[in-house]
Amino acid sequence: MGDLFEHLRRTKRVPERDSVRIITCLGQALEYIHGLNIVHRDVKLENLLIMRDAYGEIGVKLADFGLATEMPEEFGVLKTICGTPTYVAPEVLTQAGYGCKVDIWAAGVILYAILVGFPPFQSSDGSEQDLFSAIQSGEFTFPSPHWDDISYSVRHLIMCLITLDPFHRYEATELLQDEWVANLGDVDPEYEEWATLFVNSKMRANEEEEETPYEYYTSRRASMDELRYQIIPYNLSSHHSSFSLTLQIFCGSLFFALFSVKTFSILE
């Protein structure tokens, strides 16, 4: 059935009733591997394989554990810079040390992306340095009209997943216990009202003035191994890689500019 990236290419966006099942499957997978003290480090649309149950309901399986590693016991944090730019957590970029919560950040990026068809952090010209700066700021919005028909309950969940401070970010268990997830998107009206107040109090006042987001989707099939050897700010001009741009335009209200990157790795 393909991966979630290809599914999103075809559908442009995923409705809430399907999105909640997708994030539930991902949350269960992360809860399991995190319980084994394993960090995936490359959770992204391309690594979620689509499946259907006996009733035809959508689900996903987490794949490609090529960058997965066990958390070290001695120091308790990882510092290797790796992952895929669109989904990488801020603590990875700053080299402050990171753990399992980087997978939770990526899950939040995925949930945001499948609901509206574009990720929360973007660069207008494909610059990874600009993208990384946006990620490190931790600031994102729910721009109109793309989010107008999406519940505030799921927006609240996204804010709990894409939280700058990993100590305040949800764990996989908390993701699964979230009201929107636990009730498969069918939340109590009182909770939706509370979530609306919560989200509106946290978002910036100028959200309504936000222009249509830059529809550049920085993604790739291969993971960003070259990030291991870069210190922020990421200097594209100094990196010995060849970059090729593949622009694919799709019908509908949203467009994706997909940047494919050929990388050089000293590990090869």
What separation in angstroms does the CA of 56 have from each of 2, 52, 59?
Answer: 15, 5, 9
Active site residue 53: no
Judged on CB neighbours under 10 Å (0-12, 13-18, 19+), 262 is exposed
Helix axes 4-11, 101-116, angle to 10 degrees: 20
Out of 18, 42, 103, 225, which one is annotated catalytic?
A: 42
**Considering only CA atoms, which of 259, 258, 229, 254 is closest in space to residue 116?**
254
Rounded to whole angstroms, how far apart are CA atoms 57 and 179?
A: 20
Q: Where are the beta strands (DSSP E) in 149-209?
A: none
Cβ-contact 162, 138 below 8 angstroms: yes
Residues in the chain: 268
Rounded to whole angstroms, how far apart are CA atoms 159 and 188?
A: 19
Q: Where are the beta strands (DSSP E) in the chain?
A: 38-39, 48-52, 58-62, 69-70, 242-248, 256-262
What are the catalytic residues? 42
